[in-house]
Amino acid sequence: MTASNAGTRVDLKDVLGPAFYEPHRKIRSGAVEEAVLPGGRGSLKSSFCGAEVVLFILRNPDCHALVLRQVADTLRDSVYAQILWCIDKLGLGGSFRCTQSPMQCIYKPTGQRILFRGLDDPYKIKSIKLPFGYIGCLWFEEADQIKGGESAVRNVQQSALRGGAKALTLISFNPPASSRNWANRYARESRPGKLVHPTTYLQAPPEWLGPKFLSQADWLRQTKPTAYRHEYLGEAVGNGTQVFDNIRLESIDKKRIRTFGEIISGVDWGWYPDAFAFNRTWYDAGRRTLYIIDELTLNKLNNFETAAMIKRRIPQGEQIIADSAEPKSCADYRDAGLRCFEAVKGPGSVNQSMKWLQSLAAIVIDPDKCPDTAREFTEYEYETNKEGEAIQVYVDADNHHIDAVRYATNRIWLRRGT
């Protein structure tokens, strides 16, 4: 695997781990505008980002690059050192002039620059002056630590990525424990031109990591499995307040859905600001696994408008179970030709249904088809006391799709509960 520019050929096999070959091809083809790279320790994500910054400079002689962390004082021993390592491994040491004051790496054949800045001094970003061309590549390292999160990243993109057709943003981070952290949430969102590529040390060549690293990882795996999952596998294991620890986010295609049995939909009535929520679900009783395959999140639409939208999404006769607090709304759905029934409620039904959902082997959610549902389930947390400790209370907020799923499965958990 090689790259070339202006007669310079560089070998990539010593700088890119095998898990990053395909993302590299996509970036090089121009199919990726933004690469989000969550990963645990030893996943080689920083090596990949450093290499892509250098390679972007080689491919685009009018472009410069900007590498950022939240605190400027952390740049020299992290991203600056990483770029130096990549330049050396790519055999380009003689082609770059790198200095610490100012902190930059200049590609001598063209004068292109790789600049380093901290987000703790926004003025230094706005005051960047270039001898020619424009900034085309951004790398946000340890992005979960960025104050202002997605908004801060977007502000830098809007300020820095100006004046040219080529643009690439790299966002790398070790996933924080909390699913609510902006970086974890951002990695769950999809849009055209965005690549999300999580990795772990298990995908790296063992000889790159060394026996000491591997033995430490294995010791933690055996003695502290939750810490291991967080630190080495990059899992958002939570802070002890998350309600659901059985969520799996994965694509569920049409071919797979055709193998499902009876699909049941659920509705939680809403108008504004509380949203109307609709979900389609299928329960695999043998594997104790619930699949959530579709959603609607709507505001300020009446019952006949939402009914018309649902009729376009489900086959005729599919059962819908809705919140019984609005019997007239259920009647409106039946008048519209939908097979809609009221959920059976009673004292303790919320706790009963929530505990049933928590007890499942897995709740599988398609994050592309159901982004709002994925967000609710992964971020839903217990209420906490003054010390921040979880108490066994389910918060009645940001749970519209959770309620819709509870209603869809009403007959299942009610039967098992009795």
Residues known to be catalytic:
142
**Do residues 10 and 91 lie in contact, with contact meaning Cβ atoms separated by under 8 Å?**
yes
**φ, ψ at 327 (rounded to 5°):** -60, -30
Nearest by Cα to 291 from 267, 257, 340, 314: 257
Report whether the peptide linkage leading into residue 102 is cis, meaning its omega lies within 30 degrees of zero: yes
**Do residues 390 and 330 lie in contact, with contact meaning Cβ atoms separated by under 8 Å?**
no
User: How far, in Å, CA of 142 to CA of 201, rounded?
Assistant: 17
**What DSSP string runs through 200-236?**
-GGGS-HHHH-HHHHHHHHHHHHH-HHHHHHHTT---
Nearest by Cα to 183 from 198, 168, 162: 198
Residues in the chain: 418
- Number of Cβ within 10 Å of residue 235's Cβ equals 19
User: How far, in Å, CA of 317 to CA of 46, rounded?
Assistant: 52
Compute the 3-state secondary structure of the chain and give helix, strand, coil in percent, each to the nearest 5. 40, 25, 35
User: How far, in Å, CA of 276 to CA of 297, rounded?
Assistant: 6
What does DSSP assign to residue 78? I
Residue with tokens 């690549």, as numbered in its chain = 195
SS3 25: helix
- Alpha carbon separation from 130 to 106, 127, 168 (Å, rounded): 12, 10, 18
**What DSSP string runs through 265-319?**
EEEE---SSSPEEEEEEEEETTTTEEEEEEEEEESS--HHHHHHHHHTTS-TT-E
Largest CA-CA distance found in the chain, in angstroms, rounded = 77
